Amino acid sequence: MCTKNLPNDKFDGVRDEQILISRDDTETLEVALVRMKKGGMTEEHVHEDEEQVYVVLDGKASFTINGAKKELRRGMVVFVPRQAVHEVVCESPDGLSYVYVANWPDKKGKGQQRKDSPLK
């Protein structure tokens, strides 16, 4: 079992990303917490072999996927399929925090190979 507490400390800079559960500990997943200050962003990008689910914990953001823009707020969930061009921009004066779960459905991680892994 792999457990971690969500950090609630302050962070320097405009954007902070912390891996909560590493792909090295699972078969195909990674979980991370992303925090941004107003104006912080993930630049437009694409994942050829990775799909993602974002869960907005706090704040507001503009989210663009394949050219379509949507406002995301606390409590919303969004799915990002493979090969989708996407971008997140923090619009909230008090910042944005979200958890993403990344999945590589066609690849196995190192987690299943570790002797101490619960995935034996």
Per-domain residue ranges of the chain: 15-107
Sign of CA dihedral 86, 45, 112, 118: negative
What is the assigned CATH class of domain 15-107?
A: mainly beta
Beta-bridge mates of residue 101: 31, 53
Q: Are the C-beta atoms of residues 40 and 91 closer than 8 Å to each other? A: no
Single pTM value for the model:
0.84
* Residue-by-residue pLDDT tens, the chain, 120 positions: 667 777 777 777 899 999 999 988 888 999 999 999 999 999 999 999 999 999 999 999 999 999 999 999 999 999 999 999 999 999 999 999 999 999 998 877 666 544 454 443
